[in-house]
Structure 1
């Protein structure tokens, strides 16, 4: 009785995984972004790996966890940002990204945190210069506004949300049938 549902669920999960894998290989970045660096590293559970950003201008950091779950913390006030002391952060289970405003003092501290749910997290971070941004930083958020700048992935992604909604609906249905 549950076998057809299980097969359908596994097929749906496989399709979702294949779709996500293709999306990570074919990164969709605007043509105006200039790739400055690609940094690969690893960080242990509950630990930080620190980097410094000296490039001027609006910089976009995209962190992808290759294994485990790495999170991103950024600060222009300390070279060792953490989840207690940061200006920008992205801590998702997927790709993390932040846009560092041009107005941030350099060097900017970058902390990559290894989530304790995994013994070790391997990551790849791509550093882009957003050439469309105003070099003087006038296009960045004004002083006095909240410090967190929206990441490029914060916008609505209709195709992804529909797939997740469908996946959760099927999963709920399977769980109701089984239990």
Structure 2
């Protein structure tokens, strides 16, 4: 018993629903947008050997055919070139950073060597200066002893000259 104005139910099996070409196109466009968003969010995953599958327009009857399914990974000569380009683009900044680190380390070592040699030179100069100061003190002490002896001799001579 069917009521008036209600069309009869379609004759498709219960598990399958027909999708129109317009709906299928919208689904594919949404998938492409999602994949593009993923590539923008994770750029390091892009170009790792697998190219993103590009959706093909839907077939005329609205069903995917086995020919419409995209290949998952396209390998070949181009992929090797992209790996080489990626590797060289990664190595150049690494080598640049490595060279800068080597130059900086060399400059630091040269600076330390110059500072050390300056300190050694100053140490030698201080040692020589301290030796000269100690020699001067010894000389001053000898001179003061000689002056005392001369004064004693003068007194003795003056005392002898007074007696005669």
Give the structure-1-normalised TM-score. 0.24
Highest CA radius of gyration, 1 or 2?
Answer: 2
Q: Does 1 or 2 have the higher relative contact order (CA < 8 Å, sep 6+)?
A: 1
Higher strand share: 1
Higher helix share: 2
